[in-house]
Each structure stands twice: as C-alpha cells, then as structure tokens.
Structure 1
C-alpha cells in the first residue's frame, strides 16, 4: 500500500494509533501527527484524503451537544475564506516535487508549533474580515490535511468561551472536509488504495481515540498539549531533514 514495505506499514500503524490517542486526550493534533509522520516514509500527499475521511467521522461523533454553542457566523466566514485557500494550496503542493512538498509541510508544522508554544493573545475578538482571512489560511493549510493548526492558534488567541471555541471547530471541519474531497479527487489524491487505507486506519484510530478519551496518562491536559506540540516539532524536523538530504 502506497509502496510501503513492512516496516513502513508498522510505522504508519503506530503513528495512526498514537494520533488517535492524542486526539482523544487533547482534542487536536490528529491530522498533523499523521501527515508529519507519513512524510518520513512516503509522499505525505498520499495520506491527506485518508486523514480527511477519518477526521470527518470523528467530528460527526463530536457533534452531540455542540449545537447550542456553535458560532455559525464564524463558521460561514471561515468556509468562505477556505473556498479560496484550499484550491490554491493544492495547486501549489501538487505542482512541486515530493521533497519540496515534504519540506514545505514540515516547515509549516514547525512554524505553527512555534506559534502554539508562544501562546500569543489578542485583546478583542476578530471581526468578519479577519475571520474570513483566517479561513483562507486554514483552507490553504488543509491542502496537506492540516487546516486545524492555524485555526486552533487563531481561536486560542481570542477571548472566546471554551465551549464556543470547541463547538465552532467541530462544526467547521466536517464542511471543510466535504469541500476538500472533490479537489483531492481532481488532483489524483484519491484511489483504491485510499479506501483500503481508511478501512485499516479506522479501528486503529478508534482504539487510540478511546484510550486517549479515558485519560490513561496522568498528565494535565495543558501539559499533554505541550508534549504534543513538541512531538509535532520533532516529526517535522525529521521530515525537513529528510527533504534536505
């Protein structure tokens, strides 16, 4: 599958299981970990449709109880921006070489890790234009399946209620994933191997998500998020090194 040997398949199984655990425990990081991990053993663009399908299914599971707190105005402005950003991101990533794409993705993850670690803050909530502009960034970043990192940093910087933060993200990503699918298909990123990969990844993701949701680690959520950011930075650094060498 995806020209991976036995060791590559074992590595991807561990990455997907670990990413599911991270998402179940901390609520973010699944796509970024899977894509960053995949970049070490394969063309990372081959896995983005798989990640989108799995993220879509997990987001639907999270919809229960989120409805009253969803800021639909934010969701609409984000989707309007993403409608522009996603095609541009896919056009760029599919027009360059595999190593160049790997380097671009790894560099992006490292920048976002730095932003998340700094923890920048805004005095007021961002208006419609700023939200739409962030939608463009999120859509562009979703070309490799990682549109959540900039948006999580963007929302965390604003004085938003945690319930609105979570519910708005839950509402936004299923629509973004549905919008992304035809573009992934058009750029040749969906094949029969994608279907097999989804079928194999579903139980691993579900198991990891279940274990993470039960909080098997004794660490505080904030400390665990810091660990996740450092893990992402390490994977991205290895991916960048691989691209450069």
Structure 2
C-alpha cells in the first residue's frame, strides 16, 4: 500500500485531493495548504509533500492554455529569484526552529493580514520588483513546510490586480517554486517511487477538480473573486494555526 496508508486513509485523502484541486482550479492557489493540513489529521504529511508538489505541476499543464496570456512574468521572475535564494537554506531553518513553530509564525502573519484585507484595504502604490523578490525569499522559506504560496497570495491580494492576472501569476509562480523544491527534496530522500505512483493515481481527480474550479472562475466577478481569495487565506491560516497549536 502506498506510503503504508490504509484503504480508508487513501479514500479520505482522495476526497480531500478533489476538493483541493477544485480550489486550485478556481483561485490558482491553496491546493498544497489545504491538502497538507487535511492529511496531517490522519497521517504524517511529510512524505506526501513531494506528491502534492508533483500534482501542482500536473495541474498547471492542464491549465496552461487558459492562463498563458494573463501571467505577469516580471512579477513571477522576481518572486522566483527570491525563492531560489532562500530554498537551499529553508530546510535547515525549519529543522532548527521546528516545522510546527514555522507554521505557527507564518499562519499567524497570514491570519492577521487576512483580517486587514477583509476591511477592503489595498496597497495602491506600485511595488518595485525588489519588493516581490523579498516576498519570494519569505515564500521560499515557508515552502519547506509546504505553505510557500500563502505569503505571496496575501501580498498579491492586497494589490489592485485583475482576477485573471492574480490567478495565472499564482499558478505559474507555484509551479516554478515546486520545480525548484522537488530536486532538493529528492536529494534529501523524500522523492521515491511511491511519489510517482501516487501522482499518477491522483491525475484523474486533479483533472476533474481543476476543470470544475475553472468553470466556476469563468462565472465569477472580480469582487467575488477577491472576497473568496481573502476568505480562503483566512481559512488556510486558521487551519495552520490549529494544526500548529494541537
């Protein structure tokens, strides 16, 4: 059995996978944070993190045609530059402070920022690319715990960015982040044959979830999308706090 999971654990995780894929198809982020938080309730999520990252890359392949004209490549490049600098050191930092401590800090910051965003506050001035690189560094550090997308999503949500651009930029950035992270995890022994098999079994659920989420995105308004993004951030931060505290 994959990762020594029982049949009931695989069934429950499959449902969580479909739900997380739907959220990713709609919003462009949240897949890793949702699935890892849920998996932590019934098993050790660490071996599943490379599976999650592989799944995100597969989902991007499914979404590529519909998002390529909306990607803000300059922002993606600046974010990835910061993440690439941070990632080689991220594992050491996580080991020194502890996975739960890191999640508690990151989730607390995102939770607080989500409450501020709920008030309608936005960053109206133009952010230089160096600012995105700095956020990329924070994201890279957080990705060792599987939640690298949350700081970036909170940062972009605070800016007056079109919903299609936000979604496409998040999808491409997270894919680049995963492509940088997976070789480091392979070097650390976390990527195994089970990782590839699990990702293959997950593909039909990913395709269905992304398709349903994408259809919902096309029917939404910019105001509704921003509200959903903020509420999703708030929910994911709450899950992170809950997991870390218990």
Query: TM-score interval w.r.t. the shorter chain?
Result: 0.7 to 0.9
SS at structure 1 position matched to 2:65? coil
User: Out of 222, 236, 239, which is 1:232 matched to?
Assistant: 236
Contact 1:103 1:239 in 2 (8 A): no
CA shift in 2, pair 1:11/1:68, >3 Å? closer
1:125–1:160 CA contact under 8 A, matched in 2: no
CA deviation string 1:9-50 (max 9, x = no partner): 233122111111222233321111011112222232222111
CA distance in 2, matches of 1:164, 1:207: 23
Where in structure 1 are there 5+ consecutive unaligned residues? none
Worse-superposed segment, 176-185 or 114-123: 114-123
Matching residue within 99, 108, 111 for 2:109: 111
Name the Cα RMSD after superposition: 2.8
Inter-CA distance 32–110: structure 2 relative to 1 (3 Å threshold): farther
Paired residues in the alignment total 238
Gaps of 5+ in 2: none
Residue 86 of structure 1, CA deviation: 1.4
Counterpart contact for 1:39–1:102, Cα < 8 Å: no
Secondary structure at the counterpart of residue 2 of structure 1 = helix
Q: How far is the alpha carbon of 1:73 from its aligned partner?
A: 2.5
After the TM superposition, which residues 197-216 of structure 1 pair with which residues of structure 2 at under 5 Å, given as runs? 197-215=198-216
Partner of 2:169: 168
8 A Cα contact 1:35 1:145, kept in partner: yes
Q: 1:203 Cα deviation (Å)?
A: 1.8
**More moved, 114-123 vs 78-87:** 114-123
Conservation of the 8 A alpha-carbon contact between 1:32 and 1:109? no
TM-score, structure 1 length as denominator? 0.82
- What's 2:3 paired with? 2
Per the alignment, do residues 212 and 75 of structure 1 end up closer, same or farther by CA in structure 2, a change over 3 Å counting?
Answer: closer
Higher alpha-carbon deviation: 171-180 or 187-196:
171-180
Match of 1:40 in 2: 41
For 1:106 and 1:9, the matched residues in 2 are separated by 27
TM-aligned CA distance change 1:24 to 1:76, over 3 Å: closer
Which of 11-20 and 115-124 deviates more? 115-124
Q: Which residue of 2 aligns with 1:177?
A: 178
Q: Is the 8 A contact 2:154 2:233 kept in 1?
A: no
Q: Which moved more, 1:182-191 or 1:17-26?
A: 17-26
